[in-house]
């Protein structure tokens, strides 16, 4: 990766003191600044070579020329009309001081921007207050630059959806090859950071929506333990699986952003234990952190896509070269059973959780899932030109959270994925983490037929499913390219194992050096 350091975030972890009085010495921000690490940016601020206003203006210009024109990546739904004013008054008062960050458009900001989950149904008024994630970013000094496009309702509306498409924003494309998909549902967050439209972004995941877009856009994505990062003020799918997390161009940057957003929140009971575990994750960026680590290769999740398999073998070689102990062909018990009831649990929870979220938006006419279904029918020409709302209808037909069927399925899923799945595999071979391919190369966009799964066992919903269902953390990072498209791997482990996963990913990243700036190819050349 670019801008690696032996202790890459000492400046970020301690905070910086910079003052706008130094603007006379500041140079004009350029393309290298758009792809610079947090540590590099803040060092430039401290020296007076760059200002938060200059960097923010650069990103706004790039959004205008790359996202809305030129290659038209279409990753950003709207920019913050107050971003430049915030940047002008920025001071070094936090670990992300002056760092422009984009938020997925399902994360509330109590400002002039909408929070819509990509749907026209929620565009009446902005949210009345910040989500806890947005509030923590502001406290850390970050500049909230704008909102990114996504898969509408985080891919919870239809079984035939195309990732990265919303009625509000259209289709986000992959900046590496423009007729390819950026994956979902955090497609805009991934495409924007890969294209140098922000220093980092926040995505959210229920099952795969950070890991897949990060993998297909060549980024580092961290899906935290459920309960480490608050979900209050985030449009939900499932309280048992949802979490927000960072997407960045390096492990160091992702660790810095996770450090800022992690912690307890009284509005989200799941975070009750977060105070015991949230920490400065940049402490785990150890160049020797792989030595002695025991990592199990989950071959059950490989053997489907050859490019992904080559990336896996490359990663195994990098691990061994740095002193890690690789235990091959580790099996996760019950893996194929995980898909049996996952969607049913999500449908029950979505019906309940979306109503609870809508109650926090009193100025919106939408109050229930039934209201959203009726809106989509009325606005079918705009909302459903490509796919319908089968999942909405299925969720509406479910009972309440006191339904014994729901409780039994939820508890079974958690047990099989967590204690009897991932934990059992780790315990059997005394492992620190598990390794699998992320996904294969990005698939071609297809609004008519929807997404094409090209890697990951479809019977378990892809490589993200075990950790997602268990509520355990995972991290993906790029390790090589195939046919101009990035390929990544994913490490996952037990609950609260973010420090271990970050240390492992950082060790791999230092040798893989895999991030590349996109070329915005219209399509792949056929020779």
The rounded distance, in Å, linking the Cα atoms of 87 and 20 is 10
Helix count and strand count (H, E) for the chain: 19, 13
The rounded distance, in Å, linking the Cα atoms of 285 and 283 is 6
DSSP type of residue 419: I
The rounded distance, in Å, linking the Cα atoms of 310 and 17 is 45
CB burial of residue 160 (10 Å; 0-12, 13-18, 19+):
middle
Tell me, yes or no, if 104 is annotated catalytic.
yes
List the one residue out of 25, 36, 143 whose CA is nearest residue 81.
143
DSSP reduced 3-state for 15: coil
The rounded distance, in Å, linking the Cα atoms of 100 and 38 is 10
Choice among 119, 158, 185, 464 that is catalytic: 185
Q: Please give the angle made by the CA atoms of 224, 230 and 234, to the nearest 5 degrees.
A: 105
The rounded distance, in Å, linking the Cα atoms of 252 and 506 is 7
- Contact partners, residue 179, CB within 8 Å, separation at least 6: 173, 444, 445, 522, 523
The rounded distance, in Å, linking the Cα atoms of 131 and 233 is 4
**Structure tokens of 108?**
């509330």
Strand partners, 101: 144, 200
Secondary structure (H, E, C), 155-167: HCCCCCCCCCEEC
Tell me, yes or no, if 209 is annotated catalytic.
yes
The rounded distance, in Å, linking the Cα atoms of 300 and 74 is 36
Q: How many residues does the chain have?
A: 527
Choice among 37, 189, 209, 497 that is catalytic: 209
Q: Are strands 100-104 and 200-205 parallel, antiparallel or unpaired?
A: parallel
List the one residue out of 250, 247, 245 whose CA is nearest residue 262.
245
Choice among 104, 351, 398, 414 that is catalytic: 104
Token pair 């049913």 in the structure block, residue: 344
First CA to last CA across the chain, in angstroms?
Answer: 30
The rounded distance, in Å, linking the Cα atoms of 509 and 527 is 32
- The catalytic residues are 104, 185, 209
């Amino acid at each position: 990766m670019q801008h690696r350091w032996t202790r890459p975030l000492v400046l970020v972890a301690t905070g910086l003191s910079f003052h706008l009085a130094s603007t006379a010495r500041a140079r004009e921000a350029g393309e290298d600044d758009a792809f610079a690490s947090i540590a590099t940016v803040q060092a430039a601020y401290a020296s007076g070579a760059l200002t938060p206003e200059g960097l923010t203006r650069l990103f706004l210009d790039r959004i205008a020329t790359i996202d809305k024109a030129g290659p038209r990546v279409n990753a950003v739904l709207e920019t913050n009309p107050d971003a430049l004013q915030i940047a002008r008054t920025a001071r070094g008062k936090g670990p992300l001081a002056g760092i422009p960050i984009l938020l997925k458009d399902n994360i509330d900001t109590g400002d002039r921007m909408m929070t819509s989950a990509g749907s026209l149904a929620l565009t009446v008024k902005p949210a009345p207050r910040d989500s806890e994630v947005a509030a923590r970013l502001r406290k850390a000094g970050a500049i909230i630059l704008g909102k990114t496009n996504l898969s509408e309702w985080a891919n919870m509306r239809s079984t035939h959806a195309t990732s990265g498409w919303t009625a509000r924003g259209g289709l986000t494309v992959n900046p590496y090859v423009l007729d390819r998909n950026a994956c979902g549902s955090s497609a805009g967050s991934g495409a924007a950071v890969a294209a140098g439209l922000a220093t980092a972004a926040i995505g959210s995941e229920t099952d795969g929506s950070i890991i897949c877009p990060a993998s297909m856009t060549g980024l580092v994505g961290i899906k935290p333990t459920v309960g480490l990062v608050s979900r209050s003020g985030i449009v939900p799918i499932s309280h048992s699986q949802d979490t927000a997390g960072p997407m960045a161009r390096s492990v160091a940057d992702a660790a810095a952003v996770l450090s800022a957003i992690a912690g307890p929140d009284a509005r989200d009971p799941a975070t009750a234990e977060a105070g015991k575990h949230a920490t400065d994750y940049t402490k785990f960026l150890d160049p020797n952190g792989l030595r002695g680590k025991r990592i199990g290769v989950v071959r059950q999740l490989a053997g489907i896509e050859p490019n992904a398999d080559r990336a896996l073998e490359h990663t195994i070689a990098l691990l061994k070269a740095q002193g890690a102990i690789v235990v091959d062909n580790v099996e996760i018990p019950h893996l194929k059973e995980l898909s049996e009831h996952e969607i049913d649990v999500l449908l029950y929870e979505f019906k309940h959780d979306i109503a609870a979220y809508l109650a926090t938006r009193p100025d919106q006419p939408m109050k229930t899932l039934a209201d959203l279904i009726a809106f989509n029918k009325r606005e079918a020409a705009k909302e459903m030109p490509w796919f319908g709302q089968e999942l909405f209808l299925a969720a509406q037909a479910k009972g309440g959270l006191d339904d014994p069927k729901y409780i039994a399925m939820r508890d079974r899923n958690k047990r099989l994925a967590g204690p009897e799945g991932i934990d059992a595999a780790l315990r059997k071979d005394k492992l620190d983490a598990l390794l699998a391919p992320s996904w294969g190369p990005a698939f071609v966009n297809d609004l008519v037929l929807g997404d094409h799964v090209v890697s990951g066992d479809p019977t378990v919903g892809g490589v993200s499913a075990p950790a997602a269902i268990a509520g355990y953390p995972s991290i993906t990072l790029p390790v090589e390219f195939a046919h101009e498209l990035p390929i990544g791997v994913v490490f996952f482990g037990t609950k609260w194992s973010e420090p271990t996963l970050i240390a492992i990913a950082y060790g791999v990243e230092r040798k893989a050096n895999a991030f590349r700036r996109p070329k915005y190819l219209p399509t792949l050349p056929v020779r």
